[in-house]
Amino acid sequence: MKGIILAGGAGSRLAPLTNSISKQLLPVYDKPMIHYPISTLMLAGIRELLIITTPQSREQFEALLGDGSHLGMSFSYATQSAPNGLAEAFLIGESFLAGGPSALALGDNIFHGAGFSGVVRSAAEAKAGASVFAYEVQDPHQFGIVEVGEDGRAISIEEKPVHPKSNWAVTGLYFYDQDVVDIAKTVKPSARGELEITCVNAKYLARGDLDVVQLSRGTTWWDAGTFDSLLQVSNYVRAVERQQRYKVACLEEIAWRQGFISDDDLLRLANNYKNGYKPYLESLLDSSTSS
């Protein structure tokens, strides 16, 4: 399975912060926002990623992330010329996906919680259909909303409904089988002129192939696209890292724990830092040796 991270858009909700920099390059406490969706897909066992940015920001992402080889990964890049909708990611990424299954993560969606890695890995291992991740919200009018039956299967799915049928918002993380590109090609622009990901999900629902993973109360999710949510998630990450003494979405650590890189690779990466990351990464090797 390959992954796509959609890190385009104008970031207008975060202006003037985003007047000269992509939203997904803004800091969320001690790392760029883009590190969080990358970590999500890495936890699912995905090693090949296509990062879709705006034409203006592509060089900045390439300078930050490189080709991914330092993490035992492979990063490719493409651009979305205008915010034409999430489903366009599959049209842009058609050659990258090469007819295989895929995961799509939005560059401003951040997840954290005990057991979350197991949940995403299970979704990545599914052989057919689509999986979406739902989170219970208080303001369902602002999101794509999925109605779920007692058996956990989707009944209906709507984009920002006037009369929501549930409080379960579809988050910015999706797993699809090899049919997603062909399905995305059939999607027509919505009233707002975008190729809606909800339409892709609705087509999977219509054929009985849409699985809904309802995230538990032990998992947190943010759409970090507003001033308040950006501050809230930054404070959350700071609190977790200080209280539990481990780093959230540390790409080097995840790559090492997933077996993408060796002990020697991790040590070399640690030596690139002149701040708290260096002793933190070194401590991982120390604890591994002592155990």
Convert the pLDDT of each residue in 151-193 to its tens digit.
878 999 998 899 999 999 999 999 999 999 999 999 999 988 9
CA distance linking residue 58 with residue 68, whole number of Å: 15
For the stretch 60-88, pLDDT in tens is 999 999 999 999 999 999 999 999 999 99
The partner residues of 133 in beta bridges, in order of sequence, read 213
Rounded to 5°, the CA angle 24-210-233 comes to 25
Confidence of residue 289 (pLDDT cuts 50, 70, 90): low
Instruction: Tell me what pLDDT residue 89 has.
Output: 98
Mean pLDDT computed over 145-153: 88
200 pLDDT tier (thresholds 50, 70, 90)? very high
Looking at every residue in the chain, the average pLDDT score rounds to: 95
Asked whether 130 and 201 are in contact (CB, 8 A), the reply is yes
Q: What is the pLDDT of residue 60?
A: 97
Kind plus residue range of the DSSP H or E element containing 215: none
- Using pLDDT thresholds of 50, 70 and 90, give the confidence band for residue 291: low
Among 89, 212, 59, 202, residue whose Cα is nearest residue 150: 212
Residue among 169, 200, 191, 12 at smallest CA distance from 89: 200
Model confidence at 227, pLDDT cuts 50, 70, 90, reads: very high
Q: Give this prediction's pTM.
A: 0.96
